[in-house]
Structure 1
């Protein structure tokens, strides 16, 4: 579904991702780990075509077609979606209005309740939210959008332990649900804490360091390695 083909990404004049290749197939959920500043968020931002992130080498394919010439909204319309690490507050846009605008008002109440956000339906998006509320709100926003490819940038960071389970279960449920026309979805999660791994199903983990993919393997085994040895690739 998604393929990074020898991708390099620059922000300004600084190269932050270097010659990285990674493929995500339908039905798969991949986890990216790495130190701060290693290029993980930049990789997802470049995939979505956000301003300031320039793919200087390689290609990004979605469903077999390059998206590099598409605007962010065109990529979203094709089925790509990103839950931001630090989403903006949108004054004047309530969740009820947002859901209505994208045709998701029929699932808003149920999905908001699942993320313990039922009381937020008539509040402006992320305005006055705590850090944990903002993260749950961002997961809800992506679930309402229902893209085929769901990318989550540190969805459990700043979330209390009780709600990490809620967030993980919501992501697991969303990614495992087929599209209305019966197609499988796929997902990518960036994590620093690893707590989300207790609540999702995945066998696909990757360590990214200094802008390069240095190792791939079972996500939980990789996180245990990171806890003991840092972000160095495991010995062969």
Structure 2
């Protein structure tokens, strides 16, 4: 039986402010899979995630996005969120006049205040609940509040845009654990994924942008893709791809013998 595709992107062309950024991207993520997205700055990685989420600034001129068997190419952000698509941003905005607690309560109305408080405490983010969103926070503090939101939202498909960005080594283990929890691989009580998930199909799926690969020390990635100049130039084993990138850089990694037969 063929594995079901949770997210399927077909020949996606996207313009931003009149400039074509994505030029025919195709990839699919199966149920319970985590894929990593590599690529130099400006290659279109964040554009791809923001298009999947549905931001109006990102205009699909060709191709389609399918989620859970539904064409969501023209769906609104809230429609996609209700279907189970969520994102943790690399650089989340500061929102004046809105507290983190109120945003979480609005987006996840079934949560009790005790649940919010308990989860925030475990992410060392409780002190930020009644502050304006991201106001005066460091990069690492913003990441903790972002992970708090995605864990409590509990989407079926998790987009993580450079979760290690701005995080020091001391806090990387916490962010890594938070990513595992958001993806259904771990729990705050230390039980581990085997005791809380009986089947791989129960895991959340995800698409993770990473430059350093640090997040891959904390989550197992099933497949990697190299995105350059708006196109996927290579797909394959994520750890091997990262090793080639570190050794040869982006311009040469997909030409090397280690990538033979893996070009997308």
- Give the TM bin, normalised by the shorter chain: over 0.9
Q: Could you say what the CA RMSD is over the residues aligned between the two structures, in angstroms?
A: 1.8
Query: Match for residue 187 of structure 1?
Result: 206
Match of residue 136, structure 2, among 99, 107, 128: 128
In 2, the alpha carbon distance for the partners of 1:75 and 1:174 equals: 17
Residue 49 (str. 1) matches residue 68 (str. 2): no
- Tell me the SS of whatever aligns to 1:176: coil
Residue 219 (str. 1) matches residue 238 (str. 2): yes
In 2, the alpha carbon distance for the partners of 1:19 and 1:228 equals: 28
- Tell me the SS of whatever aligns to 2:183: helix
Query: Match for residue 200 of structure 1?
Result: 219
Gap runs ≥5 in structure 2:
1-5, 186-195
TM (norm. structure 2) is: 0.83
1:91 deviates by 2.1
1:113 deviates by 2.6
- Select the structure of larger CA radius of gyration: 2
Q: Deviations for 1:31-57, whole angstroms, at most 9, x for unmatched residues?
A: 101000000000111111102111111
1:193 deviates by 1.5
Match of residue 99, structure 1, among 93, 96, 104: 104
Say which is worse superposed, 127-136 or 98-107, in terms of deviation. 98-107
- Tell me the SS of whatever aligns to 1:24: strand
Match of residue 145, structure 1, among 153, 159, 165: 153
TM (norm. structure 1) is: 0.92
Quick check: 1:93–1:125 contact (8 Å CA) kept in 2?
Answer: yes
1:29-68 alignment to 2 at 5 Å?
29-68=34-73
Residue 115 (str. 1) matches residue 123 (str. 2): yes
Gap runs ≥5 in structure 1:
none
Quick check: 2:147–2:182 contact (8 Å CA) kept in 1?
Answer: no
